[in-house]
Chain A
């Protein structure tokens, strides 16, 4: 089956620092989403991004489907950015089934 690898697995930042999270995948995808899982478990939508670059405030994402990777940039990090970040893929021919990466656990400290 498809392999979805996220790096780094864990990340500790000082407030105000920038970071880049990476998602590599081994198969062609129909679409891709980035989520932030809050401490209560809910998955919050960050980006729905099959290709190209999108920005939303301090966050931006870039997907290069032909090279099978996506990047999530967090600038000027805040303590509220802490949590787990997942990329999830819709595979070609997979309907609405999402295949999730293993996640990046981010902790932002004062």
Chain B
């Protein structure tokens, strides 16, 4: 079956703009989580959505937000982009329960100039 699909793969934005990233989970998976990877901070958890509700949230400013649709697809939005938001954004899909195996998409590489 198809894996986790993230779009777009690459993105270049200007400081102050906003951006929306998309993630389609594996069919049947209801949990979607987002992670940010930077050279300095490593892989950090942003938030998790399950059945259209945010179930868990990491320590990121309010400029980072997300949502999940009824078909389990998820989007994350970053407003008022800063240079430090340049990163690889990874989405993970899990079946449902807590602590179930996570499968990752190929990521969206965001560059803020």
- Chain A: residues with CB nearer than 8 A to chain B? 30-31, 33, 35, 40-43, 45, 48, 86, 88, 90, 94-100, 102-103
Contact B106 A40 (CB under 8 A): yes
Contact B98 A41 (CB under 8 A): no
Which residue on chain A has the smallest CB distance to residue B97?
A: A96
Q: Tally chain B residues at the interface, Cβ within 8 Å.
A: 28
Contact A98 B92 (CB under 8 A): yes
State how many angstroms separate the Cβ of A27 from the closest Cβ of chain B.
14
Interface of A, helix, strand, loop or mixed by DSSP:
strand
Which residue on chain B has the smallest CB distance to residue A47?
A: B101
Interface bits B75-113 vs A (CB < 8 Å: 1, else 0): 000000000000010101010001111111111010000
The one of A31, A35, A41, A102 in contact with B42, judged by C-beta atoms closer than 8 angstroms, is: A102
State how many angstroms separate the Cβ of A35 from the closest Cβ of chain B.
8
- With A and B bound together, what is the CA distance between A94 and B99 in angstroms? 8
Contact B105 A94 (CB under 8 A): no
